[in-house]
Every structure is written in C-alpha cells, then in structure tokens.
Structure 1
Amino acid sequence: MHKNPLLASVFALGSGLLLACSASQALATEGGLSSWPMGIEIYGMGILPPPGTYGQIFTGNYEAKSVRDNAGNKAADIDLRVTTVVPRFVWVTEQKVLGGDLGFHALLPLNDMRLNIKNGPHDSKRGIGDAHLGPVVGFHLSDKLHMATGVDFVLPTGAYDKNDIINLGNNYYTVEAVYAMTYANPHGLNADVRLMYDYNFENKDTHYQSGQELHADYTLGWGVGNSWVVGVGGHAYQQVTDDKCSASNCAAAALVEETNGYRGRSFSIGPAVQFSSKDGWSLSAKWQQESGVRNRAEGQTVWLKFTTPL
C-alpha cells in the first residue's frame, strides 16, 4: 500500500465509470468510487415498459482534471478519462406483484480507462467492469405518472489489484435499493428522479469498507411535440456514513480519521434531450458538469442512452 494517504486515495481512483462504471468520482468511499455511475439515467427512468424483452445501450465519456479534498479545495492535478459502453437487458414478465409488473434487468460495462497523475505515475486499463442485476416492480399510476422500485446487486466481476493505480472493478459487493418516478407529458412537463441507497461490503483485499451512499439521478424537461423532450438533468450525491478501514497497515486510515469519515458529495447539471420513435425505440443524450465536490474527482460527463424492444 502507498504510504501517503492522499496519494494512496488518488491511486485507488481507477475503477472509473464502472457499473456502470462511474469514474465520476475519485476519493471518499474506497478510491472515491461508487457502484452507480452518477447521472447515467436520463428521461423515462421510472417507466417499466409492457411485458417483453428490451435492450439498452449506454455510452459515456468522463473527463476529470482535479481531485477535491474535504474542504472542496484542489488536492491533486490529474488527467482522467473513462469511456464506457454498457449493454443492459430488461425482461418484463406477465407476473403481477402488489398490482405492479415484475421485471428483471442485468448489465455489464465495458470500460476503456486512462489516468495520469501530475508529477506521478500513469496507467490505463481496458475490459469489463462490475456487473449489476436485480428485480424491479413497475406501476402505472396514470397515463403520465409512473413508478418503479427494486433492488440491485453489484457483483465484483471487474479485474482488481490493490497495488494498481486504476482498476476495472471495486472488488466488493454492493446492495442498492432503488425507487424511481417519472411524469411524462408529450406536450408539457417531464420530470424524473431515480433515488438510490447503497450499502457497500468490505473489500477483502484491503479490509476497507466504503460508507453508505444516498444519491439520485434526475431530469426536468418539456415535451415540445414531434416526440422530442428538452431540458436539464444530472445527479445529486451524498455519502451518509463513514468509511472504515480496520487493517493495521491501511494507508488511508489516517485520512479517514482526519476527515471525520472521509465522506464524499457532488452535484451535477447540464442539458438533456430525448427523441422517442413511434416504432418503440428512443434515444437520449445528456452533458453534465460536476460542482460542490468533496473528497472526489471533479469533472464532466457525456451520456447517450438507446432503448429498443427486442
């Protein structure tokens, strides 16, 4: 392990956009990483489609030039770029649960990552990240108001080495509770929120346990007709419990203590647009800039999302 706690944390920053691939973070929680790629969802995040099988492709590119410390000041200059392609499969069954439609989803990210630390080392990785899968139940409260709830399980399928400065996976399990709502009006207000709460298990290689996390993806837009929605979107993130590191040789233990748990936070916002075809497919795009960052990298992300029946 690296002897300098801050440098050790920057080195851990790797797993990038994981997921889903979220390299939009770089400190707080171990290596500043979260299992969910913040802001990846765009419009329609609370709508579970009719029974059937669906495919989605998310593509994203994240770039960061600095790491922010516990006070929001620049702690390090970096050059981080993570490009990800995330295929996702959704199966909605005929089964009803409490009046809602039962579905399942699974995804596996493919990441291309590069990290350069100013006056320090550099590295790059390419391969699969950590898989997500889980059940979901969707409700259609009206023709415009929709709701979905479920649980995601994140599996440590990405390659990991505690001595590398970047990694494709986090090397620990996460359980994520999910609640999402969408209000969709083709000729008026469109609003979405996906609220998530993460419980992270211990990384057995480092004996580090990242704190619990509360975060949300959101969009707000206006249906302008002709199947288009335009507006803004992003994410809000707050770590709600302390990181823990019990190992006697844990390089980040002092930093966790000095920063009262080494909790991270961030917020992003930017333009978002969606086109929905009469044939059932849709294409969304979003650009988001991070601000108010604590104990993480600060950067910007471009997301594209394509959905189609299979």
Structure 2
Amino acid sequence: MNNRPTHQSNLLSGMALTAALTLSAGVAATEGGGSIYPMGAENFGMGALPPAGVYPLLYASRYSADRLNDANGDALPVDFKLQANVIAPRLLWVTEQQLLGGQLFSALLLPLVDLDVTVNGTNQRKRGLGDIDLTLGVAYHHSTKLHTAFSIDVFAPTGRYHPNDLANIGRNYWTVQPVYAASYLDPHGVNADIKLMYDYNFDNPDTDYRSGQEFHFDYALGYSLTPNWIAGIGGYGYKQLTDDERHGITIANNRGQAFAIGPSVKYDSGKGGSVNLKYQHEFAVENRPEGSAFWVKAVIPL
C-alpha cells in the first residue's frame, strides 16, 4: 500500500468523459464513465510498508483507449480516442508511533495529468494537477513474509473541471475510500498481493450528480527469480455496486464493470530503492472505455 496514484479516465483519476458519453447516447457508469482511483496502479509489495522514515515515490502511466462499451460489453458506434499520460509523485511517511497494534503511516499524492480526448472529430486536451489523494493508515508485519495494512484515503476535487468540457482532469466531487492490502513476500518463492477498495462518492455540486459506490481490487502474483527480481502477472477487477443518481433520480442500467491482466516485473535493490513495470489490458468492460495501460512505479531512497 506504499504505492498509488490518482488519475483516471477509465481509471485515471479525474478523467471525466461527460461530453464524450453524452455524444455516445449517454451510456456511462459513474459520471463521465471514469473513477477517482487509477485501477491497477499497485503491484508487488502493495501491502508491505517499509521501516519508519520518509519515502518519495514516483508513479508514471500511459493509458490509451479507442473503444467505449455499453451495458452489454459491446462497442458503441462512436469515433472515440482517449490518451492519458500521468506523472504522480507521492510522499510516504511511516512513523514509529503505534496505533491499534500497528505502525501509523500517512501519504500525499499529487497527480500531474495530460489528457487528450477525441469524440466524432471533436478534440480537447488538458494538462495540470488532478485530484489529490490523502492517506492515513496502519501497517502490520505479521512475519518476515506476511504483511497487511488498513487505510482511509480521501480524494479532494482539486483538478480542473467544467461540466461542458470534453476532457476534465478533475472529477469535481469528494471520495472517501477504505482500503485493505495484504502481501505475501518470499525472496525464494511465490509472491502474492491484493488490495481491496470501496469508493463512496459524494455529489458533484455543478451537475447535481452522484456516482454510484464502487468496489475494486488490484492484484499481483509472481515468483522471485532471485532475491532482487520478481516476475509474474498483475491487474485489477472493478464492479460498480450501486446506481448513479442525478437530481435525486436513479439512472438505470449504467453500472460499470472491468477487469485487467498483464505481465509485471519488479527490481528491488535491497537498499531501499525499487522499480515496478507493468502492462495491463482490459476486458469484460461494461459502460466504460476499454483500453490498455503501461505503469512504472519507483521508490526513491533518500
């Protein structure tokens, strides 16, 4: 859980495709068809926090999609292209203070987003700060191999937004997200990680729209080739659990769904630094864009 950014259009935080989806018959899970959390951002070691100290992290992602799916998972008849490039520095502070038997930690993430959207020949591009993410949590080290963490994340609507724009790098509403992450790390064997998240979205005051509540998880499964190298697969699963509402009226048949999988590799220097690389492709997508993403995550030792 020492990893995670925020920027997303299918997943990149603050990528609201409201205009795009209006042009394509209004089919969209959550407002604009996106989510506040960058699905699949986490990788190996997502539930294992480092010893007490301050740690700079850096995430980079390139997401592209040229397809919008309806409630049946079929492509909508619209000329659609989306490309999102994100660099997201994150500052993690692991304290020596104990809370509920675990180690107290906090983090701040600042996503810098470059979003380009084209729908039926109409194009718009925006760059800037997306919606920031504040984290407060507790980490546990049950053994040398098993680690878990609990946290509450709060996403603030700091990214630029206009209800009539094609591309928005902010979602214009607050989200509270409880998180549970677990990692099983074996330097000579199997590594397994999962992070479970639940998003409670508040109202967008400019549109009187409330996106439904969302359950999603990041996962990774790999094998330690050496104590420094892990190779395997990773991705995410996503399911919207409640309906959207606009002006207090339920919007039927627009809940989102998506899954993703792809190859993943991690190098750990053994001296506090590490680099994760991952490619993931989405499938079984409903009411959302369908595309692929390439992720890089680096922990920079001080």
Out of 292, 295, 303, the position equivalent to 2:287 is: 295
Q: How does 1:1-310 map to 2 (within 5 A)?
A: 20-25=6-11, 27-75=28-76, 76-117=78-119, 119-246=120-247, 256-257=251-252, 259=253, 262-310=254-302
Matched residue type, 1:109: P
Q: Which runs of 5+ in 2 are unaligned?
A: 12-16, 18-27
Q: Deviations over 1:164-198 (max 9, x none)?
A: 01101000000000000000111100000010000
Residues 142-170 of structure 1 show CA distances to partners (whole Å, capped at 9, x for unaligned) of: 10000000100000000100010110100
How far does residue 19 in structure 1 lie from its aligned partner after superposition? 5.2
AA of the residue aligned to 1:223? S
The whole-number CA distance in structure 2 between the counterparts of 1:246 and 1:90 is 39
- How far apart are residue 308 of structure 1 and its match? 2.4
Map of 1:12 onto structure 2: none
| Alpha-carbon distance in structure 2 between the residues aligned to 1:90 and 1:31 | 30
Note if contact 1:53-1:309 (Cα within 8 Å) is conserved in structure 2: no
Partner in structure 2 of residue 15 of structure 1: none
- What SS does the corresponding residue of 2:32 show, helix, strand or coil? helix
How many pairs are equivalent? 283
| Partner Cα distance (2:261, 2:59) in 1 | 18
Percent of aligned pairs with the same amino acid: 46
Work out the CA distance in 1 between the residues paired with 2:113 and 2:229. 30
Task: Give the residue type in structure 2 aligned to 1:192.
Answer: D
Write the distance in 1 (CA, Å) between the matches of 2:290 and 2:283.
7
Equivalent residue letter for 1:21:
H
When the two structures are superposed, what TM-score results if normalisation uses the length of structure 1? 0.89
Cα gap change, 1:51 to 1:226, in 2 (>3 Å): closer
| Matching residue of 2:23 | none
CA distance in 1, matches of 2:105, 2:92: 7
Amino acid in structure 2 at the alignment position of 1:88: R
Report if the CA contact (8 A) 1:286-1:303 is conserved: yes
Change (3 A) 1:226 1:101: closer
* Alpha-carbon distance in structure 2 between the residues aligned to 1:48 and 1:102: 10
**How far apart, in 2, do the equivalents of 1:226 and 1:191 lie?**
15
CA distance in 1 between counterparts of 2:109 and 2:87 reads 10
Give how far 1:280 is off: 1.2
Distance 1:46 1:23 in 2: 25
Q: TM-score, normalised by structure 2?
A: 0.91
- Contact 2:5 2:41 (8 Å CA) reproduced: no
Counterpart amino acid of residue 269 in structure 1? I
Q: Partner amino acid for 2:9?
A: A
